[in-house]
Chains A and B, each alone.
Chain A
């Protein structure tokens, strides 16, 4: 019985496919803690990329041990992100979803999100657990520049741009929080599994 599929990712890597994000997070933590020979352990939505000189059987056995203690609580933190909901795409999201702009804000600020994984840019967290009625596609043409601190949505995800960059997500608002700081340990404010709430500023 196995809940993990191992796919080759080059001569120094394996991609582990798991049933869901929670399983992937547990496996990523276990691999990172137990296998110092791994150079990178990169969590995806429901995958873990393991890079380093490690045998396939070792990876599989370590991943399977992570399931054995699935009741052990994962150490996560709660983060509140204050947001000024005045983003340039708020009205368009309202039009796409059929809600008034205030309703979009209320629905975006209501849930407690979970950090699924980090990617795209340093400190960029993919947040899941949002209101399904707010699912909108990415912009057809990405913006060349999205300001740092922009709070955005695309598909099932919410996220905050840690620094100015190109981007195709729809911008609902801004936060002053620093999402990524190379002088901070850890540099990223958000870690996989963290619980996140958005607090609307007046």
Chain B
């Protein structure tokens, strides 16, 4: 198997595939790429299965030395060399992904996929529970699997989605916990992504959302994309490593078609919610 040396891991680089859905009843978060569209796109460009394991780098990409020739796709966030990029690397060549210029997470996909010991059917790193492989460290040596039968595929250029912007939000299950004025505030305000943003969730800054009741709910199941409102009234948008249950009311859920864009939000970005 081809090996890849991690010269510099970057601030947070994890292995991700399409996650481990179906274990929520055991308390296991779904995990998986927070921008699954970018992961699937990168894998398609290389002829891989859509959910082949890739690296998900946060804000700054890794520096990798390939010991043998490899075909690599960079998708998701735009980096210095561009976006949606396929590159052939020669033996011994170094790939320096560099910082994300637009978006928060760049996916490093390789033809053949990275090979990691799966846990509960997935190679994804889950930062909440520690399931799956540890985040990348400098000096790690990574393995690439055998090339798939399919050839690399041409993909039409992707229109660039703006960072942030409007996210469609469906009210519920606990929107009755918001005052009518707070519902109005939710849809008319601009929300700023705070520094407290990771794979578990994104804390948003903006006006306080007033709750009509302050007693805690009995713990109930949570979906990815849920907008939770803790007693502080400052909403949290849950991403893939979210706890499976919680007692703060989820007052709305971001539309599943818009959710992959939430994985590209970075601190300082502004978002709005649309009905």
Contacts and interface: CB of A to CB of B under 8 A. Distances in A.
B221 A120 contact: no
B173 A9 contact: yes
Interface stretch (A35-43, A59-67, A76-84, A169-177): A35-43
Contacts of A149: none
Interface stretch (B21-29, B89-97, B150-158, B203-211): B21-29
B26 A11 contact: no
B222 interface: yes
A23 interface: no
Contact of A12 (B23, B245, B250, B256): B256
A188 B254 CA distance: 31
Interface in B174-226: 174, 218-223, 225-226
A141 to B, nearest CB: 16
A123 B120 CA distance: 13
A122 B130 CA distance: 10
Interface stretch (A44-52, A92-100, A101-109, A194-202): A44-52
A182 B131 contact: yes
Given A42-B24, A121-B129, A15 B221 contact: yes
Contact of B172 (A8, A28, A187): A8
A37 B157 CA distance: 33
On chain A, which size bracket covers the interface?
35 or more
A117 interface: yes
- Binding site secondary structure of chain B: loop
A43 B221 contact: yes
Given A49-B220, A182-B120, A10 B26 contact: no
Given A8-B171, A42-B24, A188-B27, A182 B119 contact: yes
Contacts of B23: 122, 187
Interface string B1-44: 00000000000000000000111111110100000000000000
B252 to A, nearest CB: 8
B212 to A, nearest CB: 16
B255 A11 contact: yes
Given A9-B226, A40-B24, 10 more contacts: A8-B170, A9-B223, A10-B226, A15-B173, A43-B221, A45-B218, A49-B24, A49-B220, A119-B219, A163-B129
